[in-house]
């Protein structure tokens, strides 16, 4: 079955370490997105990509980096510059850059805890 796989589901890191969250999709979608969700909060856009080797900053890109070397993969690195990285991270994809009529397919999320 097609879908989006985020791994791992739970991730623990020490403060000051960089950590990379994986997001892989086999839906043949062009566009991919990363969101952050804090307890009781809505979704905040970190980065998004419409095509391979291209990506744009979202509303809260500081302290994060991404790459899009393959259509299927859009890993997110949480760097030591991110001041409050503990959160639930969601990856999503859509068939095309235009989401009209399609919306997103979401992964199941990665809960990152920095101690």
Partner 1 sequence: GDSVTQMEGPVTLSEEAFLTINCTYTATGYPSLFWYVQYPGEGLQLLLKATKADDKGSNKGFEATYRKETTSFHLEKGSVQVSDSAVYFCALSGISGNTPLVFGKGTRLSVIA
Summarize as ranges the residues that interact with partner 1 (CB under 8 A): 4, 6, 31, 33, 40-43, 45, 48, 50, 58, 90, 92, 96-109, 111
Tell the smallest beta-carbon distance from residue 113 to partner 1 (Å). 14
Tell the smallest beta-carbon distance from residue 35 to partner 1 (Å). 9
Comparing CB distances to partner 1, the nearer of 81 and 97 is 97
Tell the smallest beta-carbon distance from residue 18 to partner 1 (Å). 24
Comparing CB distances to partner 1, the nearer of 2 and 42 is 42
What is the Cα–Cα distance from 68 to 70, expressed in whole angstroms?
Answer: 6
- Compute, in degrees rounded to 10, the torsion defined by CA atoms 55, 59, 63, 65: -10
Tell the smallest beta-carbon distance from residue 104 to partner 1 (Å). 6
Comparing CB distances to partner 1, the nearer of 4 and 76 is 4
Q: What are phi and psi of 102, to 5 degrees?
A: -110, -45
Comparing CB distances to partner 1, the nearer of 82 and 94 is 94
């Amino acid at each position: 079955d097609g879908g989006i796989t985020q791994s791992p589901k739970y991730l623990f890191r020490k403060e000051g370490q960089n950590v990379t969250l994986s997001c892989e999709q086999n839906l043949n979608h062009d566009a991919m997105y990363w969101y952050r969700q804090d307890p009781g909060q809505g979704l905040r856009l970190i980065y998004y990509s419409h095509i391979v080797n291209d990506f744009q900053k979202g509303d809260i890109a500081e302290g994060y980096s991404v790459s899009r070397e393959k259509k299927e993969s859009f890993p997110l690195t949480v760097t030591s510059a991110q001041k409050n990285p503990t959160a639930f991270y969601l990856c999503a994809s859509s068939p095309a850059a235009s989401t009209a009529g399609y919306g997103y397919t979401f992964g199941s999320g990665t809960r990152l805890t920095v101690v």
